[in-house]
């Protein structure tokens, strides 16, 4: 049996009941850091990791390790770059201390929808990004969230930069 939430996202009834109602709702209804980080652990271990398998979660058609983009560490830590931007720290793709702090609070499980609504309602022009081949910022989840908000948001449309603003040629 499949249940449909008010946002149009479908999950098997057992997952919806055990996971969504019990853990995510508890986290977002005043749950403390322990509740929310436990929710994140559950999601990562029993949903995200098994579904992702050996595929790149940021570009799902590609198996791990994804060769694109190539490692940028040497370039971003070069004197030519750091001296121009005034950097006094070493570039890291992932700062494990920052990651651990987010994980310890379960921050990824807390909704940011009220904050997004405040920003949009204040008149700030906002881009809501979602990826058509991205498991982490996937279009189904983002667009379901947008449908749930009472804030007026313009329809989704593909973005294509103005070629005259780019330093390289875009494919047609």
pLDDT in tens, the chain (172 residues): 444 444 444 556 566 556 666 888 899 899 999 999 999 988 888 778 888 889 988 888 889 988 877 888 999 999 999 999 999 889 888 889 999 999 999 998 898 888 888 888 888 888 787 778 888 887 787 888 777 777 766 666 666 666 665 544 444 4
Judgement on whether residues 75 and 11 belong to the same structural domain of the protein: yes
Q: Tell whether 152 and 136 lie within a shared domain.
A: yes
CA angle centred on 102, ends 99 and 106, rounded to 5°: 135
Instruction: Determine, yes or no, domain membership for 13.
Output: yes
Asked if 42 and 105 sit in the same domain, the reply is yes
Same domain? 129 vs 63: no
Say if residue 128 is in the same domain as residue 47.
no
Helix crossing, 33-43 with 96-105: angle to 10°? 110
How many Cβ atoms sit within 10 Å of the Cβ of residue 37? 20
Domain limits for position 15: 1-110
């Amino acid at each position: 049996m499949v249940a449909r939430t008010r946002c149009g996202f479908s999950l098997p009834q057992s997952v919806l009941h055990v996971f969504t109602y019990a853990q995510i709702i508890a986290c977002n209804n005043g749950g403390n850091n322990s509740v929310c980080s436990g929710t994140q652990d559950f999601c990562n271990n029993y949903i995200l990791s098994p579904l992702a398998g050996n595929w790149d979660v940021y570009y799902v058609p590609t198996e791990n390790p994804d060769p694109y983009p190539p490692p940028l560490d040497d370039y971003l830590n070069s004197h030519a770059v750091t001296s121009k931007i005034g950097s006094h720290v070493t570039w890291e793709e992932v700062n494990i201390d920052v990651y651990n702090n987010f994980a310890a609070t379960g921050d990824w499980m807390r909704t940011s929808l009220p904050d997004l609504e405040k920003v949009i309602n204040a008149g700030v022009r906002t881009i809501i990004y979602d990826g058509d081949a991205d498991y982490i910022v996937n279009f189904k989840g983002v667009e379901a969230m947008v449908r749930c908000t009472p804030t007026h948001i313009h329809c989704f449309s593909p973005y294509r930069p103005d070629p005259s603003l780019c330093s390289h040629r875009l494919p047609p």
